[in-house]
Structure 1
Amino acid sequence: MRLTMMHSFYTYLQSQQTAQNYLYQCYNNIGIADAEPKSYENYSPFMYYIDHGMKFYENGKKIDPLLQPVLFFYGMVHLLKACLLTTRPSYPESTSLLAHGVSSRKRKKKHYTFMHDEVKIQHNGLFPYFSQHLFSIERFPFEKIKMNHLLALIPEMNSLFNFNNEEMMVVVGETGTNTLQIPLHLLDSYHLTEKSFLHRIKNHLPNINKLKVEQSQINIELIEPITTSHGPFFIDLGKEKILFPIHRNHFTPISEVMVHYLLLYNLSMLCRYEAEWWGELLSTKSELDYPFIRQFLEITSDKIPLLLENELLKYKRN
């Protein structure tokens, strides 16, 4: 199931009046002293970030997969910058923030595979900046991370891992509801007692109203439902399910937006600078990498605009 839907809030923000009013509301809510002049100063770049970002995605869906990683990556970058302008009215504060904030291997090893490639987080640049200011993550649970680990954190990729006889995630709830059911067998793979496991996940949940441990599962009733796809609780938007990683080493408390950014960054680098490997992968389809990359590109082209639109709506609700 594709996640395509009408992006009505993006459309709403495509006028000078609505964009300026929206930014004024954002700045006023966070206590910016010069909220009104800043909203007038920023509404034009804000509108263009959204317009250009969506056009990158729209055109990326129409072209050959050969070029899709570049268009989807820069489409995402533009939408991220629009989101940042809602909380950081002086963005970018320095030229160091214009860097990507992540790096990949410059030379690929013999028998290279995308699934086992990795990226490294940098101290400066867009990735650590938006992670901090959009998702309140200042310390990362990793310095380097592999692509197969990142792909395992995307719920819509779960079916491909299952076809490959690998179970990565388990359904623990449905979106829009206040209840979670966590199978007790997860405690074996996490090597934790019930008490230790609950202590570990409590910080990543809205306030808990009731908690009951039964024979086969832990039932959790929340005061409010989970609305954002943020690890370790990730949302499958198409199936409207909440999933949790099965394996302890995949317990990664970061936003799914960050996951897509890292994957798209690396794919865009391959697309631009590893022409032979990238061309052979798409033409011969000989590696396991191929179906995982194709599935990811289809998912991210729909899901990231939706997730980032939800970020903008969140500031509207506040």
Structure 2
Amino acid sequence: MWKKEVNDFLTYLKSAETSQTYLYRCYQTIQLEQAEAKSYQNCYRFLYYLEHGRTFYETSKNAPLMVKPILLFYGMVHLLKACLLTRRPDYPENTTLLAHGVSTRKRKKQQYSFWKDEVKIQHNGLFPYFSHVLFDIDALKSGKIAMKRLFAHIPEVSRLIRFHHGNTPLINIGNYAEQQLRFPLSCLDTYHMTETSFLTKMAAFFPPFLEQKTTKNHLVVDLPGPVSPHSQGPVFFNLEEEAIYFPSGRDQFTEWHEIMAHYLLLYNLSMICRYETEWWGDLLHSLPNEDHPFIVHFLKITTDKVPFLIGWYLYDQH
């Protein structure tokens, strides 16, 4: 249901007229002066960002794994720029915003592990900018962040993490259609909270609770309606299962949007793909370590997940 709705909406935007109408409504919502003039000024740029981004993604589906991260990363960049135009009609306001906003450390040639690698958030550039504008998140607070932490933000990777490391960073707490959340009672221990304080904390991230009860194994909460896929951490959506996921413990808790994790993982992989060709070639052909299944699985997931998440962001504003 989700994917069809988003795809239909993106099809609706495939003309200058519909894109202009959409931007006009977005600019009215943010009470922009000259909303109509700006919508006409930006409609073609918005339309081409979407078209270029989706073309990168479609091309990546038939591309060899060797170059897939590059196509996916730049496809994502174009889609994000389309989103930014709905909130910042003058984007980019300055040239510092054209940088990626993140950097990688110098790699060691021996025993390098992507799983343990880190990226550093920069003060200027696309990443901290879109994190603030689209999701009201100050990404600079994170400083450096490890790939294993980013993988833990993606619910479709949780099972693979459990297979490899024995822990599950995200847990299923409900189905989209049920309008009910089921928190395992074990969360009270992993979050070091009482039942009352835990539910009080969770209430800030979900629609108002209608009813709540405690069963043998769960805290059960009824909601007035479905949780939007546009929600950000600590709410995560498994697109394959149409299920709601939640951090299993305090150490995994985050308010980041999942899109931010995809961006950083794709940035790092695209840099490796371009500049660490020996390590990348060994990974793809020799299958030397645990990095291979995680990277291949992630690339498969992100190919569908990012266009959906960004498409839903645009749809949600509509």
- State the TM-score, normalizing by the size of structure 2: 0.93
Structure 1 residues 128-143: aligned runs within 5 Å:
128-138=128-138, 142-143=142-143
Question: In the alignment, is residue 188 of structure 1 matched against residue 189 of structure 2?
Answer: yes
Give the corresponding residue for 1:236: 238
Residue type of the partner of 2:262?
A: H
SS in 1 for 2:28: helix
Instruction: Give the conservation status (yes or no) of the 8 Å contact 1:141–1:252.
Output: no
Instruction: Give the conservation status (yes or no) of the 8 Å contact 1:83–1:308.
Output: yes
Distance across 2 between alignment mates of 1:10 and 1:219: 36
Distance across 2 between alignment mates of 1:188 and 1:141: 27
- 1:197 is displaced (CA, Å) by 2.3
- 1:211 is displaced (CA, Å) by 2.5
Structure 1 residues 168-317: aligned runs within 5 Å:
168-228=169-229, 229-316=231-318
- 1:5 is displaced (CA, Å) by 8.9
- State the TM-score, normalizing by the size of structure 1: 0.93
Distance across 1 between alignment mates of 2:4 and 2:206: 28
- Summarize deviations over 1:36-65 as a string: whole Å, max 9, x none: 110111011101100000010011111111
SS in 2 for 1:63: coil
Question: In the alignment, is residue 103 of structure 1 matched against residue 111 of structure 2?
Answer: no
> What percent identity do the matched residue pairs reach?
50
Distance across 2 between alignment mates of 1:6 and 1:88: 22
User: Structure 1 stretches of 5 or more lacking a match?
Assistant: none
Give the corresponding residue for 1:75: 75
Shift of the 69–4 alpha-carbon distance from structure 1 to 2, 3 Å rule, reads: farther
SS in 2 for 1:86: helix
Shift of the 148–5 alpha-carbon distance from structure 1 to 2, 3 Å rule, reads: farther
- 1:179 is displaced (CA, Å) by 1.2
Aligned residues: 314
Shift of the 97–40 alpha-carbon distance from structure 1 to 2, 3 Å rule, reads: same
Shift of the 155–240 alpha-carbon distance from structure 1 to 2, 3 Å rule, reads: same
Higher helix share: 2
Q: What is the RMSD computed on CA atoms of the aligned residues?
A: 1.8
Distance across 2 between alignment mates of 1:252 and 1:141: 12
Distance across 1 between alignment mates of 2:200 and 2:90: 38
Residue type of the partner of 1:146?
A: A
Residue type of the partner of 2:176?
A: T
Runs ≥4 residues deviating over 4 A: 3-6
Instruction: Give the conservation status (yes or no) of the 8 Å contact 2:6–2:311.
Output: no
Distance across 1 between alignment mates of 2:201 and 2:60: 40
